[in-house]
Amino acid sequence: MLNAALNCYILCIEWLIITHLKREGRRDVIEEEKEEGGEYYRELVRELKDDEYVSQKTFEKLDEMNSVERRWMAHHKSGELAETDVRNVRDRLEILIRELFPRSDSPN
């Protein structure tokens, strides 16, 4: 179950960034992918580097995930996945949601 949860949290982070970029009128990642091919997690996170909505700490934690949790998930590494690692990703996801979509500004 931890592997599935980690996968879902990472995908949710990617979709939050894609939605945010489109909402802000910066990019339509989905349309671009139709012509240019796929977008990777690291490139999506880099879009947040100087974003006014995302704290530096959130950006750094998301960027670190590329070389830890996400790489683990993407390459289906064997071995135990610690529940605390998954909780950390979930917690960062919740923070990102609050930063990108404050209560008065839902993504709908």
Range of 42's domain?
Answer: 2-100
Q: Is the pLDDT of residue 108 over 60?
A: no
Q: Does residue 65 form part of some domain?
A: yes
Q: How far is CA 30 from CA 36, 60, 90, 106, in A?
A: 10, 25, 24, 20
Report if residue 76 sits inside a domain: yes
Nearest residue to 91 via CA among 65, 52, 53: 65
CA 81/CA 34 separation, integer angstroms: 34
When pLDDT is averaged across residues 15-24 and rounded to a whole number, the result is: 94
**C-alpha distances in Å from residue 67, one per residue of 72, 76, 95:** 8, 14, 20
Looking at the domain assignment, is residue 105 inside a domain?
Answer: no
Q: What is the pLDDT of residue 79?
A: 63
Whether 13 maps to a domain, the answer reads yes
What pLDDT does residue 54 have? 95
If one counts the domains in the chain, the total is 1
Is residue 75 included in any domain, yes or no?
yes
Cβ(75)–Cβ(66) below 8 Å: no
Across residues 31-39, what is the average pLDDT?
A: 82
For residue 106, tell me if it sits in a domain: no
Contact of 91 with 6, CB cutoff 8 Å: no
Asked if residue 91 belongs to a domain, the reply is yes
